[in-house]
Amino acid sequence: MDIQVIGVRGLPLIQKGDDLPALICDRVAFEDGDILAVASSVYSKAKGFTRDLAAIVPGADAVRIAAKTKEDPRFVQAVLDSSADVLLEHPFILSELPSGHIGVRAGVDHSNIEDGRLIVLPPDPMGAAEDVRSGIHRITGKDVRVIVTDTCGRAFRRGQTGIAIGWAGMTAIDDYRGDTDLFGHVLEITEEAVVDEIAAFANFVMGESHQGVPAVVFRNCKAWKGHDMVYFTPEEDIIRAALKKNKKD
């Protein structure tokens, strides 16, 4: 069956304490098996994962890095507070978060929030996806798969795309290893990062500015089998290792 893609319109500006699953369920008649992509920005605003710049006192590292990146030292401190490890300080901060996600400025975001406030990524993005999934189940009784997205840059290519930072009700990866292609060759390395593919298309529907569409529903997507090991281990991750080595030199 053809996949249907539904942008969820008419959501208000999300405030701390808002019941995001309830607000979405008011606007969508969910069906079992739907995949809901929700922007991390609105999940974080609903849960209060935000910072007030005025309340941040930058430490010595933040002041030092801010002089290089020409950013507000308080913003840099918020980035450092969200980071488990810093892989690159300049020309932009590239951080690893406790979840394993690696992103520019640790995903700390000052768009789509009032002046002087910052959105930080949910500290437990897998838990965030499960939270939305169980909220929808509680309200509707429907078994909905959920992806929490953020807009991210990529290595090697200009331009940002949506990626999945958390997911629930499905595995991140559709594992094709052992499957045969059209000519009977056994696939040896193909692990398709399905949650990122869906997140990228969701991000296309959401837009990046004033569109006001922080949630997108995909209907009639197939199910798949795989695993959740989307982040390379430190031993496997040659790019991360190269950045760390370069940082020490």
Q: Under the rule (CB under 6 A), what is the footprint of ligand GDP?
A: 11, 13-14, 39-42, 45, 109, 111-112, 150-151, 206-208, 210-214
Judged by CB under 5 A, the stretch of 42-50, 108-116, 134-142, 219-227 that binds Mn ion is 108-116
Cβ pair 227, 194 in contact under 8 A = no
Question: Which option in Mn ion, ligand GDP, none does residue 46 bind, with CB closer than 5 to 8 A by kind?
Answer: none
Q: For the CB of residue 98, give the shortest distance to ligand GDP in the complex, in Å.
A: 18
CB burial string 90-114: b at 16+ within 10 A, e below: eeebbbbbebebbbebbbbbbebbe
Question: Which option in Mn ion, ligand GDP, none does residue 213 bind, with CB closer than 5 to 8 A by kind?
Answer: ligand GDP
Q: For the CB of residue 184, give the shortest distance to Mn ion in the complex, in Å.
A: 42
Residue with smaller CB distance to ligand GDP, 150 or 196: 150
- Please identify which residue in 34, 109, 131, 196 interacts with Mn ion, judged by CB under 5 A: 109
Q: For the CB of residue 203, give the shortest distance to Mn ion in the complex, in Å.
A: 6
Judged by CB under 5 A, the stretch of 21-29, 49-57, 110-118, 213-221 that binds Mn ion is 110-118
Residue with smaller CB distance to ligand GDP, 41 or 83: 41
Cβ pair 125, 14 in contact under 8 A = no
Q: For the CB of residue 52, give the shortest distance to Mn ion in the complex, in Å.
A: 17
**Whole-number Å distance between alpha carbons of 106 and 133:** 25
